[in-house]
Amino acid sequence: MNDKRPLTPEEISKIVDGLNPIDWVQMELLAKMPPEKRIYPSLHASAMIRAGLRTAFKRKFPNLSLSEINMKILDYLTFMDSKYGHA
């Protein structure tokens, strides 16, 4: 069953209207950074996500060790990557 069709301009507008506006100041700051430092915001965000998952898993599984919690995080991120193409 292949029901793919191009989106109408109205459908595209609905999708775009739901997106957050572009933060031009942030874009300029990133553009001014040296290429080797542009990855820092992404690494910081990734670390915050893992810390949040670690806290949630510690609450859900209080009897597990830190290394077991970390393995659960790895399992979760691997699952998300395989299912959605990103973690």
Domain assignment of residue 68, yes or no: yes
Tokens representing residue 57 in the block: 């898993």
Domain count, the chain: 1
- pLDDT at res. 19: 82
Tokens representing residue 40 in the block: 């820092």
Average pLDDT over residues 68-82: 93
Mean pLDDT, all residues of the chain: 89
CB 54 within 8 A of CB 73: yes
Model-level pTM? 0.60
Place 1 in a pLDDT band, splitting at 50, 70 and 90. low
**Residue 61: domain span:** 39-87
Domain assignment of residue 33, yes or no: no
Domain assignment of residue 45, yes or no: yes
- pLDDT at res. 2: 66
Domain assignment of residue 15, yes or no: no
pLDDT tens sequence across 29-54:
989 999 889 888 889 999 999 999 99
Spatial CB neighbours of 72, under 8 Å, sequence gap ≥ 6 = 57, 61, 64
Say how far apart CA 6 and CA 33 lie, in whole Å.
Answer: 38
Domain assignment of residue 24, yes or no: no
Between 55 and 85, the more confident residue is: 55
CA dist 9 → 3, 14, 21, 41 (Å): 18, 9, 19, 34
